[in-house]
């Protein structure tokens, strides 16, 4: 939320969109590997330390995704996703994406202009970003910037009977989308994780 424009929402959640289901929520994601394919929705176990809130997801046996959030100052929230191969053999990853539910939705004109945003994305690898800009063109924006790791592709999750084409903010940001489209955005790599290796 922006205190200067309290009607506007930058991210979708269950309070503003009842049809916004768990598979589209922040921190949910998917993994496609040579061991199988899985989604993570709710954490296997939450965890928190002083100043940091996090969760551990176990989408497949021998694989885990650790997510954490910390506030650096009132205007900066840092999120980190670390994927770990805890098995004894290497893991080939051909698909890895994290959900980012932006409130890019269209209702009537007034509600959209006052309370919704447009999603703008650049999936340029190590220089990638997302921007939620007010539909009215006025007011502050919410920006996401990759500082470590890479985002190489994006997709819009399928719509449902409640949202139809009025919702364009069920976004997935992909570290790699090789499994679905190996040539997208100039080529999608296969990531190989060594045992115990925690690439980000």
pLDDT digits (tens, 9 = 90+) for 113-160: 999 999 999 999 999 999 999 999 999 999 999 999 999 999 987 666
The b-or-e profile of 2-34 (16+ CB within 10 A means b, else e) is eeebeebbbbbeeeebeebbeebbebbbbbbbe
**CB-neighbour burial class of residue 174 (10 A; exposed 0-12, middle 13-18, buried 19+):** buried
**CA dist 70 to 24, 67, 79, 100, 127, Å?**
22, 10, 7, 17, 21
Tell me the pTM: 0.86
Tell which wins on pLDDT, 128 or 23: 128
To the nearest whole percent, how much of the chain has pLDDT over 90?
46
Whether 161 shows a pLDDT value over 70: the answer reads no
């Amino acid at each position: 939320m922006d205190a200067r424009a309290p009607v506007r929402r930058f991210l979708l959640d269950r309070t503003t969109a009842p049809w916004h289901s768990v598979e589209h929520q922040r921190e949910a994601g998917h993994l496609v590997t040579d061991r199988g394919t899985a989604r993570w929705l709710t954490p296997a176990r939450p965890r928190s330390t002083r100043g940091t809130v996090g969760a551990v997801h176990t989408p497949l046996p021998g694989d885990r995704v650790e997510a954490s959030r910390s506030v650096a100052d009132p205007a900066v929230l840092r999120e980190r996703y670390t994927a770990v191969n805890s098995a004894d053999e290497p893991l080939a990853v051909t698909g890895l994406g994290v959900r980012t539910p932006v409130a890019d939705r269209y209702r009537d004109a007034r509600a959209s202009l006052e309370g919704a945003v447009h999603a703008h994305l650049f999936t340029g690898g190590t220089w990638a970003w997302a921007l939620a800009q007010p539909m009215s063109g006025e007011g502050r924006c919410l920006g996401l910037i990759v500082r470590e790791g890479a985002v190489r592709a994006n997709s819009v999750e399928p719509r449902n009977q409640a949202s139809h084409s009025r919702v364009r903010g069920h976004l997935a940001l992909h570290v790699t989308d090789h499994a679905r489209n190996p040539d997208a955005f100039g080529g999608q790599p296969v990531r190989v994780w060594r045992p115990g290796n925690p690439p980000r």
